Chains A and B, each alone.
Chain A
Amino acid sequence: MVATIVWRMAYIEAVNLVKTYTPKGAPVVRALDGLSLSVPRGTVTALLGPNGAGKTTAVKVLTTLITADSGTATIDGLDVATQGSEIRPIIGVSGQYAAVDENLTGFENLDMVGRLYHLGAKASRRRATELIELFDLTEAQNRPVKGFSGGMRRRIDLAGALVIDPRVLFLDEPTTGLDPRSRLGMWDIITRLVATGTTVLLTTQYLEEADQLADDIAVIDNGKVIAQGTSDELKSSIGGQTVELSLVSEADSASALEILRSHGTSAPDVSADQRTLSVTVASGPAALQSVLAQTEARGIRLHDAGMKRPTLDDVFLTLTGHAATVEEEEKAS
């Protein structure tokens, strides 16, 4: 039991972080507005939110790049504001921009990072060689990074965060601006990485990415975590499942609506053409069976009938009142 307790103990703990900026000639921006977050050891937590929600600011505070105006944050019990020199040797960080030196080769970049983690000359070179192989960077090994694709730079940057075996890995929007193929490649790398038990905090504006990669999702909006839980927990938090019917004829609409209303936990939705109707229900399969039995009894003909669970999109919309969709062009580079 003790082991279990230790395992679940928060490894990264942020309490009430506040960080404000005052841009020239503009009102004060509260980038973090009382953000609290708890990341258990050995798990992957995604900080999910739209642009400007405070994700990067949160990562910067946790990785000792900036200090919060108020609130506290610890990694393995070490205070990020005052014990930075003890935290930096144990974390790996891959920022939003691939922070690689354009004029150095892939190998030289990784070797340099190893030397600055104080691995020693020999160990740094060996590790750089290993990472080049593991991340499929042979092409970039002996050529200056200048001229390589965004995906390749990101991989070198990520490899840089793994030059040591970090106890905590921070990934700030690891796939923003990547083409779909590079994104899948990056997911593949991250998935294999987290299988080894590294504690990961990643930020993303993509619901799918959080769903795919993270054990825990913290939804962040306007500098606050507004919900945290597993993907399933979040989905069920906004009400169970939905039963959806699609009718052959709109003439059956009224009676179908009546059936749905009697099963639903809220008022049913009806599409503009009156032929697609849906309602949220408390227990999905039982409700679906009962709905189907009654439609059959009344001779209502159906094209389709089914149950669907809420998507993270629905979760986001319900929690924040606005969609999580962001203009990708803005960030893509």
Chain B
Amino acid sequence: MTTTRQTPTHVAPPVGRSTAGLGDWFSDGWITTRRNLIKIKRVPDILVFTTLQPIMFVLLFSYVYAGSIDIPGSDYKEFIMAGIFAQTVVFGSTYSGSAMAQDLKDGIIDRFRTLPMNPTAVLVGRTNGDLLINAISMAVMLATGFIVGWRVRSSFLEAVAAVALLLLFAYALSWVMAFLGMSVRSPEIINNVSFLVLFPLTFISNAFVPLDSLPTPLRIFAEYNPVSALVEAARQLFGNVPAQTPEPTSWTLQNPVLTVLIGIVLMLAIFVPLATRKFSQVSTR
């Protein structure tokens, strides 16, 4: 602070430019995505958590519960993998909620909002970050699954479709969470609430137990639970539906892939504009 220097603005004064066209949209989105990638690299807890947790789940369920839960016509390991995949990516989409709330609290959103950038860019970057974390989790879980003996009983393409469906569903959910994060404003609250909502949602479903084993009220809830549709869709595409599973009674489980696709389109159609609008209005308090 003591040395004499040139005044900052003397040097080749650069001039800002407003966002224009698709090129800037891609560039802005990439810049904010890169910010989140650097964060994943620098804060290894996220990566460790997102890779260790699914490994732990795969191992716990395949070795601890496998003996006590009987799936007629199938091996429990085969049965639960789709459930673990779905649970992991659904939870993985919650980072966008707490991250947006944290950025809002720290005034970083204020900084972004005074820059001439595309108003969707920060959200694009944020949800891309979740997508990458989930993709890494998926890869780790697929590998762990293979090691413990889980097998894809369908075609390669169907398996790819299953993975794509899981990731897309979580990506769309990230936009919902980003909107909620900016609305609730507290990273702690958003974390706790998503835990409180997502835990019953993933456990009162067909993720870990067959539906017909549930008491009637829970079974009805589980049949219409979107997570059940996601699990059922993945299970069908991986060819892991147990042979003796009774025909589901709800439309959503009879057409799980279509249901999930509709869910993805609905979430994006509603929450991309809603979150973008919210982003253009929020500021620190």
Tell me the A residues contacting B by CB distance below 8 Å. 60, 63-66, 85-86, 88-91, 93, 95-104, 108, 112-119, 123, 126-127, 130-131, 133-136, 144, 157, 159-160, 162-166, 184-185, 188-189, 192-193, 195-196, 198
Interface digits, B6-50 against A, CB 8 Å rule (1 contact, 0 not)? 111111111111110000100110010011001100110000000
Inter-subunit contact A116/B115 (CB<8 Å): yes
Q: Give chain B residues whose Cβ lies under 8 Å from the Cβ of A159.
A: 8
With an 8 A cutoff between CB atoms, is B116 at the interface? Answer: yes
Inter-subunit contact A165/B5 (CB<8 Å): no
Select which of A91, A162, A195 is within 8 A of B114 by beta carbon.
Answer: A91
A sample of 29 inter-chain contacts (CB < 8 A) reads A85-B18, A88-B16, A88-B116, A93-B110, A93-B111, A95-B111, A95-B284, A96-B107, A97-B284, A99-B110, A101-B108, A102-B106, A103-B39, A104-B35, A112-B35, A115-B28, A116-B31, A117-B14, A117-B116, A118-B17, A119-B14, A135-B8, A144-B42, A157-B111, A165-B14, A184-B1, A192-B5, A193-B8, A196-B10
Inter-subunit contact A115/B116 (CB<8 Å): no
With an 8 A cutoff between CB atoms, is B61 at the interface? Answer: no
Q: Give chain B residues whose Cβ lies under 8 Å from the Cβ of A134.
A: 5-6, 8, 11
- Chain B nearest CB from A148 CB (Å) reads 14
Known contacts A101-B108, A188-B1, A192-B7; A114 and B116 CB within 8 A of each other: no
CA distance A135 to B35 in the complex (A): 23
Select which of A95, A118, A126 is within 8 A of B27 by beta carbon.
Answer: A118
CA distance A195 to B111 in the complex (A): 25
Q: Give chain A residues whose Cβ lies under 8 Å from the Cβ of B283.
A: 60, 65-66
Select which of A60, A96, A164, A185 is within 8 A of B16 by beta carbon.
Answer: A164
Inter-subunit contact A116/B106 (CB<8 Å): no
The 7 closest A-B pairs by CB, nearest first: A165-B13, A89-B16, A99-B111, A117-B16, A99-B107, A185-B1, A97-B107
Select which of B1, B31, B108 is within 8 A of A136 by beta carbon.
Answer: B1
Q: Give chain A residues whose Cβ lies under 8 Å from the Cβ of B112.
A: 116
- Chain B nearest CB from A252 CB (Å) reads 50
Chain B contact surface mostly: loop
Tell me the B residues contacting A by CB distance below 8 Å. 1, 3, 5-19, 24, 27-28, 31, 34-35, 38-39, 42-43, 106-108, 110-117, 121, 281, 283-284
- Chain A nearest CB from B277 CB (Å) reads 13
CA distance A104 to B42 in the complex (A): 8
Q: Give chain B residues whose Cβ lies under 8 Å from the Cβ of A97.
A: 106-107, 284
- Chain A nearest CB from B240 CB (Å) reads 39
Q: Give chain A residues whose Cβ lies under 8 Å from the Cβ of B14.
A: 114, 117, 119, 123, 127, 163-165
- Chain B nearest CB from A167 CB (Å) reads 9
- Chain B nearest CB from A55 CB (Å) reads 14
- Chain A nearest CB from B32 CB (Å) reads 8
List the B residue with the shortest CB-CB distance to A56.
B284
List the A residue with the shortest CB-CB distance to B122.
A116
Q: Which of A134, A136, A159, A163 has the most CB of B within 10 A?
A: A134
CA distance A8 to B72 in the complex (A): 86
- Chain B nearest CB from A59 CB (Å) reads 10
Q: Which of B11, B14, B19, B38 has the most CB of A within 10 A?
A: B14
Inter-subunit contact B7/A115 (CB<8 Å): no
List the A residue with the shortest CB-CB distance to B109.
A99
Known contacts A103-B42, A162-B8, A165-B13; A118 and B108 CB within 8 A of each other: no
Q: Give chain A residues whose Cβ lies under 8 Å from the Cβ of B18.
A: 85-86, 88-89, 118
- Chain B nearest CB from A123 CB (Å) reads 6
Known contacts A65-B113, A115-B27; A162 and B17 CB within 8 A of each other: no
- Chain A nearest CB from B166 CB (Å) reads 28
CA distance A143 to B233 in the complex (A): 45
Q: Give chain B residues whose Cβ lies under 8 Å from the Cβ of A60.
A: 110, 283
- Chain B nearest CB from A56 CB (Å) reads 9
